[in-house]
Amino acid sequence: MGDHFKKSQRALLNEGEENEMEIFGYRTQCCRKILCLAGSIFSLGILPLVFYWRPAWHVWAHCVPCSLQEADVVLLKTTDEFQTYSWKKVMWIYLSALNSAFGLTPDHPFITDEEDIINRAIRKPDLKVRCIKVQKIRYVWDNLEGQFQKIGCLEDCLTSAKIHLKFGSGLTREEQEIRRLICGPNTIDVEITPIWKLLIKEVLNPFYIFQLFSVCLWFSEDYKEYAFAIIIMSIISIALTVYDLREQSVKLHHLVESHNNVTVSVRGRKAGVQDLESCFLVPGDLLILTGNKVQMPCDAILIDGSCVVDEGMLTGESIPVTKTPLPEMDSSAPWKMQSESDYKQHVLFCGTEVIQAKGAGAGTVKAVILQTGFNTAKGDLVRSILYPKPMNFKLYRDATRFLLCLVGTATIGMIYTLCVYVLSGEPPEEVVKKALDVITIAVPPALPAALTTGIIYAQRRLKKRGIFCISPQRINVCGQLNLICFDKTGTLTKDGLDLWGVVPCDSNGFQEVHSFASGKALPWGPLCAAMASCHSLILLDGVVQGDPLDLKMFEATTWEMDISGDNFHNKGVPAHAMVVKPCKTASQVPVEGIAILHQFPFSSALQRMTVIVQEMGGDRLAFMKGAPETVASFCQPETVPTSFASELQIYTTQGFRVIALAYKKLETDHHITSLTREKVETDLIFLGLLILENQLKEETKPVLEELISAWIRTVMITGDNLQTAITVARRSGMVSENQKVILIEANENSRSSSASISWKLVEEKKHIVYGNQDNYINIREEVPGNDREGSYHFALSGKSFQVISQHFSSLLPKILINGTIFARMSPGQKSSLVEEFQKLDYFVGMCGDGANDCGALKMAHVGISLSEQEASVASPFTSKTPNIECVPHLIKEGRAALVTSFCMFKYMAVYSMIQYVGVLLLYWKTNNLSNYQFLFQDLAITTLIGVTMSLNGAYSKLVPFRPAGRLISPPQLLSVILNVLLSLAMHIVGFVLVQRQPWYSMKMHSACTVKNESISKLTVSPTAPEKIESNSAIMSFENTTVWFLGTINCIMVAVIFSKGKPFRQPTYKNYIFVLVLIIQLGVCLFILFADIPELYRRLDLLCTPVLWRVYIVIMLGSNFFVSLVVEETIIENRALWMVIKRCFGYQSKSQYRIWQRALANDPSWPPLNQTFYCDLPGCDRGVSYSNPVFESNEEQL
């Protein structure tokens, strides 16, 4: 669809973004609308229902293609593998209402300025705007570009100078009103969906429509007992679903409602400062932030003053973050690209709390609104919950295909039924009923409900373990996970950092370690001053707050924090500046205090922070703190000790977190605002190393060992130092003692646009002479010949990962096959890495504590958040226990739920085929099962089994292989087909043999043996003949034989398909299920041998000789024995299937398996002690490998 469209009739919406869509233009035709209306009436509402299920068909039926400019309806198609269709009406926004209020005319200066998307969207001279609303975002038609453009945010192409010039004084009232009308209100409005809406949406599910059809058919046949049972089960199922959806809707509504009720101060160009409700804010408005706490109602760019913000809603960590103003630079680059530091340090995000706002000097804090409504950071988070990425797990796709096969089988049965009953001269209405009956028998209405029971039980078991799930369907996906990515800090290691000591240095090199455990204070000097002032801590309500690392460092100095008053000015300190002072007990400190004048905040991209401080009555200084490698690169080479690398190695190999400190003196004649980061961060003097201890969590090592023994890959993705990450990987067991770590370094030469990549083996010894290594990691120069064959792991930094992705993309999959340690990774790089692993057909799990892991948690097949902050709402799973013990539990439950789904599907399919075969055999004699016989099979047998078979818990041990990921795989299909064939054979044998019995031809209502006279007399009691004659069409020896064979066979199939080890608890431990089976089998055998006339009369059965009943038991026993032997020796024999695969030369089609095989046969890999170069930016074209998320090509058993 869409290939024949002209360029003007189609376009891309959100090109290159995650929610990219293809958009097609259509124009409604009246004659088509009338025809569709007539079709809806004549089809009794079936046509609108089909259009509801297939939105594209609705558009194709009602409209004709046209250009997007003329369209009144647009058809949207997602460009991902799901290709989901939806349609939207094109709406008009009329600006004529503003004409009278402001005298708005087509030649108004604001409208004629075509730099702004808003102005380009206004159609002149009638002053109206075409727009569509897709997933809560409004798009307007750009008349100049000829395409729909997103509205509600400032353009990315704006430079910092343009932002200051155009929006620095605020907007005029006319501009505000026009933007308000076109952009819409600044609200993240999640309405609480009315129950009736949820009810209708749920009821219109194809599954429930099919159930409605089945129930209506059963009522027409007076099969009301099971119809009522299905109605009750459906009502309960619908009620539970609607309740859950309603609860989620209410929870989400409460999460965002506070955002819509904030009053803020806005400066207008002419109107001055006025208070305004946040819903009236528009992009470009100038916010004035006071000192009071305020929750940001939108995204805004800070252009004047500084703010301290709590970004817990976004990152999951309630740590104050300092925001600095966007500098006004004469650069033509877009404002986001103009600085090497992260642009986010200038942005105040919606939903975050400004806990402190500080103007520059006596000025106010000003911020230009960047984005409003659902365009904001919080709006994007809410939209990801409202419109989650659909799952394309193969189980569900196979289930649909299997259902279609059952429908095909039912169609054959319908044709057979029509032929038999038409030829026998039955009335037409009876023929139709019998034919339709076949559909409800071959396609069991209870199938989808039965499939979800395993997931519901697994969800309950997870909840008991403190693991909460907002996407239950992903539990099955957990069963397929074969690679888990872990964040390090707070996930593998403990949250808190303990300050172990500090290593000062002077011109002679490093001095003795100063340990804080002794309680001895650090002597006064630049190092002490750096620890006291180089941080982003704030004083809030008399309490020092901020990053835990900064807190530990500051507390170690025993200094105090205060806010300067007006009396400090004569000491060179501005009023209201942050001041740190030595405590009263401190001695030999020559300064009264240090004022923090300006901060260049820490950025994970830059890996450093810098402050400008003023000693009271002394010098002006700059202090830097950050990653040792980074800080050393900004220092004067002669001030960095020659033993720097080896000293760093000593601590990082022991798993310590190491921070470096440096400083320089500044000229006091420069104004603070004139000092750029580039000027300050040069020619620093190295001060020393701060050593912090970050211990492994007790649960980390055993959990990783359990995962590795189960052949589940473990990968570390951290923002920490590479050597620390390698050490933690070794200590945690992620890299075992006999395995080698190979360091991959990739560098980009910005001058010549060339790039290089090298492989070097990491030395395990601590003391070694270092070469000029950027990451300061011991390298072994000579590698013994047998090392290549041994197991190895790659370790690389975020910078190297970025360079490899850009310049050596053909090497990326090779590296990822053995890549285990990824350090200094930014949040964006974490998401990219998870996506790259998915492209290799891995089922990827991501476990993080919520801080900077949100993107990766959302991107992974299964995201597990160890944080209960709002950010965890984007993760499908949240663990109350903040350690990684939840990961194996989740995988075990996922595997158990997946196996349960397979068991239930196979059981329901075979049960329906057993009933289908029995009914078709009886149709041959124009006979059928009675309502009570159907009821006994459907309700007393199958429904109880369906409810209890799924109760098996997960097996306690993780085995080194996964359950089958596909329903349509040889073992699963063979299992179903063999059981259906065995049942068919048994039914045919019974059906034919009963007709050949000597007592069959006797015109008796009972064939009980003469010897059993009492039973014979009872059987032909006075009340029996009357009933028998009335049911003569039903009661027959064939009916009795087929019913007993089918009913008891359903119980036996449940025993055969109920799997235990290695993924679920043994079946005998499912006590309720075993009890149900024993009772059911006991009741069936009792009915078979009891000879109670009233019971037989109720069930429309005929009494048969005892010997025939023994034959029935023998047939059932033989069938059970053969089925069980086949299931255990062939279907469940994994070794046999592996042999079959080898015999046929089958190899997994998963990308990672293909690469593993290729690398195993490549003697040149890995290329140790080699360096490759890329001379051109685009020299590496890469390899063509792709894989849709949630899909794996791996054929499994």
Q: Rounded CA gap, 1017 and 76, in Å?
A: 75
Q: Rounded CA gap, 757 and 2, in Å?
A: 43
Strand positions, DSSP E, 143-258 = 147-150
Q: What separation in angstroms does the CA of 1134 have from each of 963, 1061, 1138?
A: 11, 13, 6
Q: What separation in angstroms does the CA of 178 have from each of 10, 278, 282?
A: 29, 17, 10
Q: Rounded CA gap, 612 and 676, in Å?
A: 11
Q: Is 807 helix (H, G, I), strand (E, B) or coil?
A: helix
Categorise residue 1187: left if φ over 0, alpha if ψ from -120 to 50, beta otherwise. beta
Q: Please name which of 1011, 920, 1141, 50 lies closest in space to residue 420, comparing C-alpha atoms.
A: 920
Phi/psi at 822 (5° precision): -125, 110
**Per the residue annotation, which of 310, 342, 487, 1180 is the catalytic one?**
487
Torsion angle (degrees, nearest 10) of CA 999, 1002, 1004, 1010: -50
**Spatial contact of 844 and 864, defined as CB atoms under 8 Å apart:** no
Helices (H), ranges, 353-503: 377-386, 394-423, 428-442, 447-464, 474-478
Sign of the Cα torsion 275, 278, 280, 284 reads positive
Q: What radius of gyration, in Å, describes the C-alpha atoms of the chain? A: 37
Which one-letter DSSP state was computed for residue 604?
T
What is the number of other CB atoms lying within 10 angstroms of the CB of residue 1121? 11
Q: Please name which of 41, 446, 40, 450 lies closest in space to residue 210, comparing C-alpha atoms.
A: 446
Whether the ω angle into residue 1166 lies within 30 degrees of 0, i.e. cis, is yes
Phi/psi at 900 (5° precision): -60, -45
Half-sphere CA count of 231, side-chain side, radius 13 A: 13
Angle between helices 55-62 and 30-42 (to 10 degrees): 120
To the nearest 5 percent, what fractions of the chain are helix, strand and coil? 45, 20, 35
Q: Is 495 assigned a catalytic role?
A: no
Q: What separation in angstroms does the CA of 600 have from each of 613, 626, 774?
A: 12, 12, 24
Torsion angle (degrees, nearest 10) of CA 345, 351, 357, 360: 40
**Spatial contact of 771 and 779, defined as CB atoms under 8 Å apart:** yes
Q: Rounded CA gap, 571 and 811, in Å?
A: 59
**Spatial contact of 445 and 211, defined as CB atoms under 8 Å apart:** yes
**Residue listed under structure tokens 């951290």:** 718
Q: Rounded CA gap, 106 and 94, in Å?
A: 13
**Spatial contact of 382 and 188, defined as CB atoms under 8 Å apart:** yes
Q: Rounded CA gap, 860 and 873, in Å?
A: 14
Strand positions, DSSP E, 799-854 = 819-823, 844-848
Catalytic residues: 487
